[in-house]
Amino acid sequence: MSNIQTLGINTLKKMNLKGGTVIDGFATTGITNTIASECILHSINTQLVATIESPYFSQLSIVRNSVPYFPVRIYANEELKTSIFISEVSIDPSLYFLIGNTMLNWAKENECDLIISSSNIVNPQQQETVNQTEYSIMGIGNTLQARNKLKDSKISLLKNGSVGGIPAVLLNQGSQLRINIIILLVKIIEGIPDFRAAAELSTTISNLVPGVSCNVPLLLQEAEKIEKELTKIKSQDTENEMNAYR
């Protein structure tokens, strides 16, 4: 892994994250992952610890409360040993391998034990017979420990299938670094906004990571606004326009 190219990480603050968890907020399919990660980010006391820079990213500056930020950032909570990768730019598929290995190397350098990512499964339509209390999330683990963690949280394991994008890189490369990888597969109903699935995803992550939480009622209240904002950012032509957010 040391010979594999990675993205540049600008470390702003060092924290002791040994034995902790990394949450992947990059959006490979839809923006469910990003919304869920943002919810967790704002529900626990995190600090900005690093930014990720690349000439291959869309050149955006994200303005929050009058403060400009790099669009790809890493936040962390030292007490909870939890870090979150947040991306607010569209990622070209050609960069998935590079991003996945950057995340793995960062987790290894910070002695983190687990990375949690997710991917969407699109259903053409909702079945009326589905029990709304049942989990609509399945999981994949690259190690016995990761699979047991899913089972302990009553998350069904995917028996056969495939996963692509950054989650695939994490699964394929994670074992070499002895990092546990969990990929949560979120069933998205066609025509239903991503934020409803994001609420369930964030709740599932909270069950997997002790101390981590998401203010789901607030997420559902603000979800449509968040979804529109993220969609706007990802589709923004950055060469001649500037975004302003309240």
Q: What is the DSSP string of 134-171?
A: S--EEEEESSHHHHHHHHHTT-EEP-S----HHHHHHH
Note the pLDDT of residue 227.
Answer: 60
Note the pLDDT of residue 234.
Answer: 56
Note the pLDDT of residue 128.
Answer: 43
Residues present in the chain in total: 246
- Using DSSP, state whether 126 is helix, strand or coil: coil
Note the pLDDT of residue 129.
Answer: 40
Q: Is 224 exposed, middle or buried (0-12, 13-18, 19+ CB in 10 A)?
A: exposed
Note the pLDDT of residue 170.
Answer: 96
Point out the residues of the chain with pLDDT beneath 70: 1-5, 122-135, 189-194, 222-246
Per residue in 113-136, pLDDT tens? 999 999 988 665 544 444 443 437
Output the pTM of the full model: 0.84
Paired strand residues for 69 = 62
Note the pLDDT of residue 171.
Answer: 95
Q: State the fold for domain 8-125+133-235.
A: Rossmann fold (3.40.50)
Note the pLDDT of residue 67.
Answer: 87
- Using DSSP, state whether 62 is helix, strand or coil: strand
Task: Classify the C-alpha dihedral 111-112-113-119 as positive or negative.
Answer: negative
